[in-house]
Amino acid sequence: MTMRSRLVPPLLAAAAALASQIPPISAGASRSLDAANIRSFHVLSSEEIFHIINDLADRYPQFATLTDAQTRFGLPAAGSEADCPYDRDTGLNAGCRNYILTIEDKAVHPEGSASAATLPEVFLSGCLHGNERVGPSSVTEAASLLLEVAACVALPTDPADSRSVNDAILCRRDLDERGIGESHRRWLARLVSTRRIVIMPTANALGYYQNKREEGGIDPNRDFPFDIEEKDKDKCMQTIAGRSINELFREHLFQLSITFHAGMEAITYEWGAPTYLKYMSPDDEGQSQIALGYKRFAGNFDGTPDYKTGTMNDIVYYVRGGMEDWAYGGSWDPDRVVQCTPNTFGGYPPEKTTYNDSTLRMFNVLVEASDHKTPPATKTGTTEQLLITNGAGNGHISRNLRIALMEIELVQPYVSILGAGGVALEDDIVPSKDRSNRSCMQNKAMLIPSNKKEIEIEWTVGGGFTVDETRIIHGRWEDMPLSIDGSGQLTDEDLAKLDGKINTLDATVGGGTTQWHKDGAQPNSGAFPTIGPLFQASIETSSYSPGDKIAVFALARLDSSWSRQPNNIKPEGPPLSHVVNARTNPTWHHESAGKVIQGRLLWYSIPLTLVVGDDANGSGVAIDLSSRLKPPKIDNGPQIGGGFGGNIGSASGGGLTGHLMVGIAACSILILFACVVLARRRRGRVEYSRAMMGALDEFSDGLTFEEEDAFSTPESYHDKRFDDSIEMAARREHADAEEEEGGRAFSID
């Protein structure tokens, strides 16, 4: 036995004693938080927003793109040299830039790809009126949270890279300590990776900087060419705020939009135009359900009641030239639309206000965020229980941040398989991880024993309110046509090719409701990490053989009730919005500016691959083969081809159960001891830690197979406490580095 192997037993005992005091990572987000992990929100200034969104674009280039209407569309800037002085550093001589922050998963949906064209799109406007201050802070904070969580969940990018694994553990612990538990992390990461989120924090940039309602004396929310008289066509598109939104909408196919205002507290929707003063819209059912959902998620606090909901005509007042009705009906109600001929800023081409049949068919909800246009700091809220309705830190910014997240969620239904055989998958959607070319066979896979006749599948459904039906289909991957690669929705053509080759569970698996429904998530039994309903069904596996790879899809149909209509609608006819038809009308198809919306009734999950093992492994339980933080250890499993070999091996055959596992375990133990020493020597801890890491690297490189055996038991490598020891050292080094450098310029906490 070598000196290093003789050291193992006492190291294990000491490490276990110390590490047992470290609290585990929680899957939930409702526990009480340490005061140090709670941050109070405040109304952000123009300059603060400028620095934050620039920092987000710099820090998360894989997800965030920052531009402005002046650069993107060649529009002039409103204002003088005295306005928005921070923009002087960007090369703008005078006025304020109208910034546009876009969040999307660029690696998964590269520009020009088919998946990029079909990404569902949402829009968030922080303010059209510059003195209504809650919205800009709410959408900026929402963007910060989304990007931070997505970047964390994307880690580790390489499970064999100990530094990436350590970063993953550290950031998850940091989020957990701030109340963002596993289920919410999975949810937020999915939003970033499966949608395109376009945000104008201060659409009226000049007004927000000056804290004035108008832009240069003109109201931007009377500046849109809807339901205004022909004689007033020179009274629209006068503002840069209005033109910026107009140009942006011409480049997208938004399905949902929110424009934040203040002066009262209400969530309102179409109609808000005088022509339709006594009528509901053709999409009233979907609009009212969404508004009520926003209301429930927003909640109330400290004597501030729940939001009122209803049409703008009923709850607020009607306007001519309002953004909301224009965005909803501008493409299909041409009698209400005029070509604008303004004289401001050198004019604006009238053809810019001629629209095709697709561009303007979104739900554009007006949220009157607070009675006070600038609410006091005591009412803006904190990060405590941020994602929980009526959480301890609820306030005006907290609840409108949640409304923004819910809009992003509701733009498209989705189905997600959570696990099988009582074993939860570690990951749902992994941002920045390729999902094409059947990569799901490696990224979402489980090993199941062949001695079981059936295995239970558990899944959830989101992106809507009512789950009308949901079920499972499954079959061998080798029987699937190549067009089914796991990255997109199954088509009718795909299903026709599968006739007779797949097994379908009876549709009586049933329906339910999501967490957004007034009845909450149903069914809700089970312990898998999800904020939504948990559906369960068993599939028969006795007909499959060892080595078979089974593709399991969960599917669902949602919100058929959105096609219902009240009696007093105008104009008469079926629903006309993208978001309603995309989930209720399979013949709906629209294309514009390189974007595509295709209607469908059934929504499919990314498939789970079940690899049928043999009975030799003796475990009798399912194993997550795709785990990135806890690579699987298979004692005597089959040799699995098709891309799994690099991640899985027998005990004697290498893989992550070999030298890498030993190296990580050894590093975990010794780093923990380093932490004890470092805690006594505050000065120089960072340098000492780095020196120890170098020594540990040399140590782990020389481990033998005999030493490997010492780490192969649950009491050693598989003990979760050693993961915590890695994280402890990293957190202490990180804290010292921050102290030396004066802290970060900006952080979500």
The full 3-state SS of 259-290, as one line of letters, equals EEECCCCEEEECCCCHHHCCCECCCHHHHHHH
Residues 151, 431 contacting (CB under 8 angstroms): yes
What is the rounded distance in angstroms from the CA atom of residue 463 to the CA atom of residue 603? 10
User: What is the rounded average pLDDT for all residues in the chain?
Assistant: 84
Is pTM beyond 0.85? Reply is no
What is the rounded distance in angstroms from the CA atom of residue 353 to the CA atom of residue 359? 11
Contact residues for 608 (Cβ-Cβ < 8 A; gap 6+): 417, 420, 425, 440, 444, 445, 446, 457, 551, 552
Taking alpha carbons only, the member of 335, 123, 363 closest to residue 247 is: 123
Question: How many residues are given for the chain?
Answer: 749
* pLDDT for the residue 326: 98
Ordered domains of the chain (ranges, CATH) = 3-27+658-741 (no CATH), 35-410 (3.40.630.10), 414-630 (no CATH)
What is the rounded distance in angstroms from the CA atom of residue 110 to the CA atom of residue 594? 13
Residues 147, 63 contacting (CB under 8 angstroms): yes
Taking alpha carbons only, the member of 497, 394, 486, 480 closest to residue 443 is: 486
The helix, strand and coil proportions of the chain, stated in percent and rounded to the nearest 5, come to 40, 15, 45
* pLDDT for the residue 702: 41
Residues 292, 309 contacting (CB under 8 angstroms): yes
Residues 595, 253 contacting (CB under 8 angstroms): yes
What is the rounded distance in angstroms from the CA atom of residue 233 to the CA atom of residue 627? 60
Q: Which two tokens stand for residue 94?
A: 């005078």
Contact residues for 734 (Cβ-Cβ < 8 A; gap 6+): 170
Contact residues for 384 (Cβ-Cβ < 8 A; gap 6+): 33, 38, 179, 391, 392, 393
R_g of the chain, CA atoms, integer Å: 28
Taking alpha carbons only, the member of 228, 146, 182 closest to residue 27 is: 182
Q: Which two tokens stand for residue 308?
A: 């009122």
Helix (H) or strand (E) holding 117, with range, is helix 114-118
Contact residues for 726 (Cβ-Cβ < 8 A; gap 6+): 165, 166, 169, 664, 667, 668, 671
Query: In this structure, are strands 512-513 and 608-612 parallel, antiparallel, or unpaired?
Result: unpaired
Helix (H) or strand (E) holding 669, with range, is helix 659-680
What is the rounded distance in angstroms from the CA atom of residue 212 to the CA atom of residue 334? 33
For residue 394, which phi and psi values (nearest 5 degrees)? -65, 145
For residue 57, which phi and psi values (nearest 5 degrees)? -65, -35
What is the rounded distance in angstroms from the CA atom of residue 420 to the CA atom of residue 457? 5
Q: Give the 3-state secondary structure of residue 337.
A: strand
CA distances to 448, 473, 716 from 451, in Å: 9, 21, 30
Residues 710, 8 contacting (CB under 8 angstroms): yes
Any bridge partners for residue 78, and if so which? Answer: 96
End-to-end CA distance of the chain: 49
What is the rounded distance in angstroms from the CA atom of residue 461 to the CA atom of residue 178? 26
The DSSP secondary-structure symbol of 605 reads: P
**pLDDT tens across 110-163, in order?**
999 999 999 999 999 999 999 999 999 999 999 999 999 999 999 999 999 999
Contact residues for 432 (Cβ-Cβ < 8 A; gap 6+): 62, 105, 107, 108, 154, 157, 193
Quote the strand ranges of 50-169, DSSP E: 64-68, 99-103, 121-125
What is the rounded distance in angstroms from the CA atom of residue 316 to the CA atom of residue 259? 14
**pLDDT tens across 575-633, in order?**
999 999 999 999 999 999 999 999 999 999 999 999 999 865 556 789 999 999 987 76
* pLDDT for the residue 499: 81
In which residue are the tokens 């005078």 written? 94
Taking alpha carbons only, the member of 267, 293, 304 closest to residue 380 is: 304
Listed as ranges, residues in the chain with pLDDT below 70 are 1-33, 505-509, 615-619, 633-749
What is the number of other CB atoms lying within 10 angstroms of the CB of residue 663? 20
Q: Which two tokens stand for residue 587?
A: 């013949």
Taking alpha carbons only, the member of 307, 290, 357, 98 closest to residue 209 is: 98
* pLDDT for the residue 743: 39
